Chain A
Amino acid sequence: MGEAPRVLILGIGNLLWADEGWGVRAVDQLHRSYRFPDHVKLMDGGTQGLYLVQHICAADVLVVFDAVDYGLEPGTLMQVENDEVPQFMGAKKMSLHQTGFQEVIASADLLGHKPAEMLLIGLQPVELEDYGGSLRPLSRARIDPAIDIALGYLADRGILAERRAAPLGDAETLASPEMAIALYEGNRPSPEEACRTADIRFLVPEPR
């Protein structure tokens, strides 16, 4: 048995865009609830795209939480492994960072440091079109099952997390305390002040 594999657990997405922020909220909750050995790193990747390449290159095992539109029933969790990860992230109906993320993995590959093992835990989002909004209840309820999937995957590789006696508080977030979910949701302006819905999508693919 060689050295312990370097693990990166990454949440990606935009916190300002309802369920788009699910991946970041999920990895944050994992961080608050569990303690990991030193060779496991948890990260709020936001929408950083190519700027994450060095973190991907430095990982032997990559676990990604993200909201991905697979056209499934809202709230469905999906697991995708290894070479299917980039393919799935570029499949369809992606937000801007995800097309970028497919390229990040390709770039890591070109640098000769693609993670040996990859797992994507994807959530079919309930609502993306609510700028300034937060997670929908169903999406929020899928965080714990998603965490269980990640913990099971890591346990299969001999990597064990230790449950914290009590979860960490709001201030000890991977994101910034200013974006803690209670504060984020609590201080939201009213619909009269800030319109809730975006306009209709008007640029759709030309029918073939």
Chain B
Amino acid sequence: MTVQTPNGFILDTSGKRVVVDPVTRIEGHMRCEVNINDQNIITNAVSSGTMWRGLEVILKGRDPRDAWAFVQRICGVCTGTHALTSVRAVEDALNISIPENANSIRNMMQLTLQVHDHLVHFYHLHALDWVNPVNALKADPKATSELQQSVSPSNPRSSPGYFRDVQNRLKKFVDSGQLGPFKNGYWTNPAYKLPPEADLMAVTHYLEALDFQKDIMKIRTIFGGKDPHPNWIVGGVPCAINVDGVGAVGAVNMERLNYVSSIIDASIEFVNQVYIPDLVAVGSFYKDWLYGGGLSGKNVLSYGDIPDNANDYSAKNLMMPRGAIINGNLKEVMEVDLRDPEQVQEFVPHSWYSYPGDQKGLHPWDGVTDPTFVLGPNTVGTRTDIRQLDESGKYSWIKAPRWKGNAMEVGPLARYIVGYAQGNAEITEQVNGLLGTLNVPVDALFSTLGRTAARALECQWAAGKLRYFMDKLMTNLKNGDSSTANTTNWDPSTWPKEAKGVGFTEAPRGALAHWIKIKDMKIENYQCVVPTTWNGSPRDDAGNIGAFEAALMNTKVEVPDEPVEILRTLHSFDPCLACSTHVMSEDGRELTKVRVR
């Protein structure tokens, strides 16, 4: 039986069902089921968050100034971006403005996260979908050196001896039987297309990136006071700056600022010499693999971020673009208003929650998080051992957010499509440059590889903007302004009896917002709509499928019980389910279980 969804996908559940659970190399727990026809093409896709989410309910009644510390603990990845979103929501509710220096420093914290997260995602979570480390053992180090010099002539780490050393280290590691991060791969699958030399080059950079990422992180440590859980504060940033001398204990001095500056330079160099050339090199071998576009050519959404000047969150002041595109109409980028009750709404007919009465979509300020675990009538298995989900009923712990009723894709690709459609000069130049280098048309963007490419370009962009805000901070400090926090409305006695606010950021994996209601100085309601809620959303009452589901449709799977292609596309979103749902099912299995029936 086939069904056409309102957002333009033809679902057919007649073929065999493949279950991937859990999906590995992501944060949090996720399950995916697809139907595959006799040509091994995916004809139906079901994505399920398999953990319960309970953050909102535990924040009730707490001091709004402490919320950032809680949201920072939701997950091990986007700690800072949740904290930033939270303090922005509280500042919006209580009408608190922040000093320019605080804005520059917050932007640098956020940009640091973008650079760091994108780099780690590409090399440590996603590369193994394209790169085969076992095949790297067959590489000729001399030929690898030649390849390296051709793709990145300015990279000094390119001698045959260097690659031979890495290969020996890798061989020793593999021979010891502890494949470590490389286990659970499908290393004989024909979906891997790189020659051994490209595999060795990429694995070498896997190690370099692992070593280098520690330096990027230090920017957050310096401004946030500590690592790995930096401090935040409503009204600004909690670090004092003293450029004149050693100053107060804990103050950021000139020596620290120079250190930050040197890390920024090294980050720009690493992205330009290693990450971008690797993207081009790997991409050139997979140019024909244009699956995974899903919603990206139809509906994309970005809230925007990185305010140039403090306290102005209008689209024109945001350096990371804001806007929504629907039905693939790149000629019209629509304005996004997070306060409008008709724009962002969450639906739960296919999620394990219920709303009071027969309410349909709820704006997050009026959001309700009331867990209701019931399974659809066609579920195969039992409540404690589900063999096959029934997507006609409730099937996920993720709610279904919609923008004006549309399922949307969020993330680096969405931001780049919005920026490209708006004619943003920097983004257009980067995108056209890459398309030219790879000799592919614009439509190639709407794919799994397009998502991966947009992330790399954004990493490069973010590294450049780190330099911009460092310079801006230094100029402001030299002009005598060292203020980093505004404590005017810190005391709850200055607050109105009731207030509500919204804070937003663009997290590495997409649009993130927190909506808060404050009553009698306490949190009355708190709702987070996170990027993976958008991308990983289940169906809604109209039958629209979510971004993960859409992206898996019509993909050819070479070997059905080795879901390399499914992982490729899901990983390209950089899913993070720890906050979109919450820790629930944990059996700790290392191996992804794949069942074909």
Contact = CB atoms under 8 A, between A and B. Distances in A.
A189 interface: yes
B173 interface: yes
Interface stretch (A47-55, A116-124, A147-155, A162-170): A47-55
B478 interface: no
Contacts of A138: none
A134 B558 CA distance: 48
B586 A14 contact: no
Contact of A111 (B60, B210, B385, B588): B210
B57 interface: yes
Interface string A1-39: 000000000000011110010000000000000000000
A97 B74 CA distance: 12
B54 A131 contact: yes
Chain B CB within 10 A, most for which of A52, A90, A199: A199
B211 interface: yes
A206 interface: yes
A93 B588 contact: yes
Contacts of A201: 384, 584-586
Contacts of A132: 54, 57-58
A175 B229 contact: yes
Contacts of A97: 76
Contacts of A205: 587, 589, 593
B207 A95 contact: no
A48 B269 CA distance: 26
Interface string A85-104: 00000111111111110010
A154 to B, nearest CB: 23
Interface in A64-105: 90-100, 103
Contact of A178 (B69, B211, B228): B69
B593 A206 contact: yes
A96 B29 contact: yes
A202 B587 CA distance: 11
A179 B73 contact: yes
A203 B73 contact: no
B62 A204 contact: no
Contact of B373 (A43, A44, A93, A200): A200
A115 to B, nearest CB: 15
Contact of A203 (B55, B76, B386): B386
Given A45-B228, A49-B76, A54-B214, A96 B586 contact: yes
Contact of B231 (A57, A92, A110, A176): A176
A100 to B, nearest CB: 7
A16 B582 CA distance: 11
Given A93-B588, A100-B76, A206 B595 contact: yes
A55 B387 CA distance: 41
A135 to B, nearest CB: 15
A144 interface: no
Interface residues of A, number: 59
A109 to B, nearest CB: 7
A16 B124 contact: no
A54 B74 CA distance: 22
A193 B54 CA distance: 12
Chain B CB within 10 A, most for which of A44, A54, A112, A207: A54
Interface string B574-590: 00001000111111111
Contacts of A99: 588, 590
A48 B68 CA distance: 17
Contact of B583 (A95, A107, A112, A175): A95
Interface of A: 14-17, 20, 43-54, 57, 90-100, 103, 106-107, 109-112, 131-132, 175-176, 178-179, 183, 187-189, 193-195, 198-207
Interface of B: 21, 27-29, 31, 50, 52, 54-55, 57-58, 60-63, 65-66, 68-70, 72-77, 79, 120, 124, 169-170, 173, 178, 180-181, 207, 210-211, 213-214, 217, 228-229, 231, 352, 371, 373, 383-387, 578, 582-590, 593, 595
**6 tightest A-B contacts by CB?**
A106-B180, A132-B58, A54-B214, A94-B588, A178-B69, A47-B76
Given A96-B29, A109-B180, 7 more contacts: A16-B73, A46-B76, A110-B169, A110-B180, A178-B66, A199-B371, A203-B50
21 contacts: A14-B73, A49-B76, A94-B588, A95-B583, A96-B586, A97-B76, A98-B588, A106-B181, A107-B180, A131-B54, A131-B582, A131-B583, A178-B68, A189-B60, A189-B61, A199-B352, A199-B371, A201-B585, A202-B386, A203-B385, A204-B385
